[in-house]
Amino acid sequence: MPDERDRWITLIKSLRQEHGVSIYEAERIALGKDEWRRWVDRQINTDMRCRRMALFHIRSNGSASLIEKDGDRLKVR
């Protein structure tokens, strides 16, 4: 789904510009929308590249992470 991935990147860039926030804050804003929340949840569990990025996000952000492990699955908090 490269088109959706491109839309996600464009969304994060526009949210950062619009709100003057960090990538983390832009992702938090985006994940407040059900459509993107479902998409990210699906991607982090089916796309290995997205899963690696999600696991890095968890390691980097610790308890403030927007994603959590639930057994073998990852899910958006």
Span 42-60, pLDDT tens digits: 999 999 999 999 999 999 9
Would you place residue 17 in the very low, low, confident or very high pLDDT band (cuts 50, 70, 90)? very high
Would you place residue 2 in the very low, low, confident or very high pLDDT band (cuts 50, 70, 90)? low
- The upper half-sphere exposure of residue 50, i.e. CA atoms within 13 Å in the direction of its Cβ, equals 21
How far apart CA 31 and CA 19 sit, in angstroms, is 15
Global confidence as pTM: 0.83
Q: Rounded to 10 degrees, what is the CA torsion of 37, 24, 56, 39? A: 10
Find out whether 22 and 37 touch, Cβ atoms under 8 Å. Answer: no
Domain count, the chain: 1
| Of residues 51, 47, 56, the one with CA closest to residue 23 | 56
pLDDT at res. 4: 83
**Which domain range does residue 36 map to?**
2-76
